[in-house]
Amino acid sequence: MYVMVCTKPDIAHAVGVDNMFLSNPGKEHWEGVKWILRYLKGISKMHLSFRRSNFTLQEFSDTDLGGDLDDRKSTIGYIFTLGCTVISWKSKLQGRVSLSTTEAEYVVISKAAKEMIWLKNLLQELGKQQDDSSLFSVICLAKNPILHFRCKHIELKYHFIRNLINDGDLFLLKIPGAENPADMLTKTVTTTKLRLCIASTGLREN
């Protein structure tokens, strides 16, 4: 948990899945822990690398609709990078069952937008004003002022991101799922995709 929270966003999803069974773990969960430890040993020389030249704040979000087989809740994940290096990330189950991919994406975008506001205020206090922060997602519904019939059940509180967009505080951009580094926070990915995600978060070898 300590390593995942501080320096290793690439194990966030695996640690989160195993943590759900802490109260009653089985053999397969212990095997999962050993897999994580072997993985950490293999990437022990990788570290977060920051550069002075670029202080642009960007965010990538993703969700896995109904990915949890026990209660069909969706896993959400977001990554914030500053100068192409990750500074904040989260991977967790949604508190409620989403009825569509659109709703699940709205939930993760709204949570990520609140984190972005906090980070922008913090950077402003440090003298690093962020005027063009971008939030990359697999949908662009929030930029569309017309509500589709499939979206009527989404709670109004998730639509506050439209105000952020209209005020110029947030730029919501579409990104293909294959290029989204937040993918590794919501589901099991291939080794090739994991390497791509790791490279996108600023984790590099010594």
For β-strands 203-205 and 46-48, DSSP reports them as antiparallel
Phi, then psi, of 131 in degrees rounded to 5: -100, -15
Please give the Cα distance from 59 to 169 (Å, whole number). 13
Q: How many CB atoms lie within 10 A of CB 165?
A: 15
Token duo for residue 6 = 């501080």
Show me where the domains of the chain are located: 49-205
Cα 48–197–179 angle (5° rounding)? Answer: 135
49-205: which CATH architecture?
Answer: 2-Layer Sandwich (3.30)
**What does DSSP say about strands 46-48 and 134-137: parallel, antiparallel, or unpaired?**
unpaired
Model pLDDT, residue 37: 93
Residue pair 98/74 in contact (Cβ under 8 Å)? The answer is yes
Q: What is the pLDDT of residue 169?
A: 74
3-state secondary structure 110-132: HHHHHHHHHHHHHHHHCCCCCCC
pLDDT given for residue 146 in this prediction: 52
pLDDT of res. 140: 58
Whole-angstrom distance, CA of residue 62 vs CA of residue 191: 18
Enter the DSSP assignment of 56.
-
- The confidence score (pLDDT) of residue 36 equals 92
Whole-number pLDDT of residue 148: 54
Which residues of the chain, if any, have pLDDT below 70? 53, 69-70, 132-133, 138-158, 206
- N-term to C-term CA, the chain: 23
pTM of model > 0.85: no
The one-character DSSP state at 151 is G
